[in-house]
Structure 1
């Protein structure tokens, strides 16, 4: 499928048939089971200054936090207790945590909880990525956001598509299950750019792929209100499923920030993963990448149980499985992209 073919799909009115086809493909590979990944957001400090992100270093109004290792381990244990088969350690790009600290966390989580471990920590060098892989990290998530060079450079100051892509390919070469993704509806993103993003993302042979809607953050240069891209984001999810049948694709938390049934609609469009936050209540609201990222004032257990109830009511089953991808059995799913 070419970028032109994808562009025609994005321009089609009404996504119902595409959603149904994507859900059929997801059912073939994953059934109605939904992998649960518990996300521990352990620091909202970040050295980057991305224009779309509330954690950007220039946001001096954000109350910053860091969790100590024991607090991170406690949150990981809670994730396992609540039914997650994977623990995701996520933060802004915070250099305060020595790579050995992260490596020790990976080892202890794997040894004590019998879960897969995903890291989402940003840009580091090959030696650091290799060290964490040797410590037992199973997966790494490093989102491209967009492959368009001009848009990428404008929204991620000091960063380039080439450098980010090289890191994604480096992670693949080190044996990680590797994930990446895009933001749908970024200011300046046309359907032509989006179609090319989908095409290039699908050429990478990734085990994990994400596409979430852009939500303006009031403390960023992109604070101006926009028409929310939830429908376009759902359509992109469906197209990504058709192009990457065996990949793990999350129904992103950003969907729930825009609609009460956002994540179940994401599953209906072909997603097969949910990633609830298990960050401690006292600080979880501070991981404010976008408004509504972590609902304030709601107990973690209540939030996760509420999500599971919604999934079951929609005909899906939360699965406490490590949830490795099925791309090896995807019979040419990526080969012809």
Structure 2
């Protein structure tokens, strides 16, 4: 896992460039540090802080003064935000859960055994878990849903993951979108008011660094939208070029933090390389997005707890946990899908453990159960990803079978049913012209 700090402090800079400059200076001085999502109470949900040990505080202050670093402040994590969870104690819960709630209320990190306990709660303790996650969600990210949109621009993949419907050996109709086709789809999202587009594909070498940079730069120049890339493992220099071109986030899922299980489901991937790339993405200046599948064949509760700890300890900004769903034509096509209730527990526990991050109500959970997305929003999730691949291509991008093609209408319904609010940035006048029915209380 990442570095451990006896008495952790954070440096919060005023911009991404100042943060990266500061990290480079600390690295050169041999000061052990890590990049983490800025904790609640010290900065916005989209920002990154530099974590270091108190023993280096004076040296860090000297470095930022000498180099005229623009920063918000240096803070002790002893002063972390405290939550009011008093209503949870009035529920019918065990002394063990009460002790865990006290730690959460004081914002003290939970250990693996405590996380496992939360993953196994039932009955009223399950209700307490969901309510606790919802309180923390509201405190950290508010009631408004973040809506992003994915364009799955290629289903070619050089990898052969055992669970994936677009794996190299699967006999499916392959496609690639041209740059012009991608930009046309992005323009549609821009008109709707979407602020972040996710460019997703298999690991397709056809899309070279130059091709990707051309697409990225055109999106930035024409639409000034946020960009998330999800195109698999790339070279270290590519990550830096993508970041410099304006990519904000990079989604590279670990899928499981268990080395045993990772090697079982990824016959041509290396666990240590995947972990290394997670670090490289952060060090390039992009926000790291990760996550995993719940209910993989042979997966244990202990391994799921490790998955959540991985996301916390690696400072992941957007964490997508969803149920495993079998895909036709894969070695796992006849395996049992993940469990809805366990998937919701994982969403809730991840919110409690990681707090000030984006948690998607995944397309997978919306596929597993018609109300899955709404239930995930009630369990601590705050983000919905629309499927914005051209309709003629969508059925050919099936990471798992029978995927729910979550569109804006579905997202609006999920938001309404969860009693949440839509983002302010959508173009509501245009949406109403298109025929969407959106009540004022959702806005």
**TM-score of the superposition, structure 1-length normalised?**
0.90
Please say if residues 153 and 159 of structure 1, whose CA atoms lie closer than 8 Å, have aligned partners that are also in contact: yes
* Partner residue in 1 for 2:96: none
Stretch moving more, 196-205 or 133-142: 196-205
Q: What is the Cα deviation at residue 203 of structure 1? A: 0.9
- Of 405, 411, 414 in structure 2, the residue corresponding to residue 310 of structure 1 is 414
CA RMSD in angstroms comes to: 1.5
Task: Say if 1:186 and 1:214, in contact at 8 Å, map to a contact too.
Answer: yes
Q: Distance in 2 between matches of 1:17 and 1:72?
A: 44
Is 1:218 the counterpart of 2:328? The answer is: yes
Between 1:265-274 and 1:14-23, the stretch displaced more is 14-23
For the residues of structure 2 that align with 1:121 and 1:81, how far apart are their CA atoms?
25
Question: Unpaired runs of 5+ in structure 1?
Answer: 323-337
1:310 Cα deviation from its structure 2 partner:
3.2
SS of 1:319's equivalent in the other structure is: coil
For the residues of structure 2 that align with 1:83 and 1:32, how far apart are their CA atoms? Answer: 19
Show the counterpart of 1:327: none
Q: SS in structure 2 opposite 1:42?
A: strand
Name the larger-Rg structure.
Answer: 2
Which of these residues, 333, 339, 343, is aligned with residue 233 of structure 1?
343
Secondary structure of residue in 2 paired with 1:157? coil
Correspondence 1:257 to 2:367: yes
Distance of aligned partners of 1:261 and 1:83 in 2 relative to their CA distance in 1, 3 Å threshold: farther
Shift of 1:313: 3.8
- Partner in structure 1 of residue 111 of structure 2: 2
Q: Deviations over 1:195-243 (max 9, x none)?
A: 1111122111111111010001121101114153221111101000011
The answer to whether the Cα contact below 8 Å between 1:287 and 1:294 also exists between their aligned partners in 2 is no
Residue 21 in structure 1 maps to residue 132 in structure 2: yes
Shift of 1:181: 0.6
Q: 2:161 corresponds to which residue?
A: 50
More deviation, 6-15/243-252: 6-15
Q: How does 1:1-337 map to 2 (within 5 A)?
A: 1-14=110-123, 15-60=126-171, 62-295=172-405, 303-319=407-423
**Contact 1:10 1:191 (C-alpha < 8 Å) held by counterparts:** yes
Deviation at 1:130, TM superposition (A): 1.0
3-state DSSP of counterpart to 1:267 = helix
Q: Secondary structure at the match of 1:117?
A: strand
1:334 alignment partner in structure 2: none
Answer yes or no: is the 8 Å Cα contact 2:374–2:417 preserved in 1. no
Determine the C-alpha separation between the residues in 1 that align with 2:320 and 2:337: 20
Structure-1 residue corresponding to 2:37: none
- How far did 1:306 drift? 3.4
TM superposition outliers: structure 1 runs of 4+ over 4 Å: none
Give the Cα separation in 2 of the matches to 1:184 and 1:54: 17
Q: Name structure 2 gaps, 5 residues minimum.
A: 1-109, 427-443
CA distance in 2, matches of 1:282, 1:195: 39
Q: Distance in 1 between matches of 2:212 and 2:271?
A: 26
Q: SS in structure 2 opposite 1:306?
A: helix
What is the rounded CA distance, in whole Å, between the counterparts of 2:245 and 2:194 in structure 1? 21
**Alpha-carbon shift at residue 117 of structure 1 (Å):** 0.5
Deviations 1:44-88 (A, max 9, x none): 00000000000000102x111110111111111222223321000
Provide TM-score, normalisation by structure 2. 0.69
Q: Distance in 1 between matches of 2:385 and 2:342?
A: 21
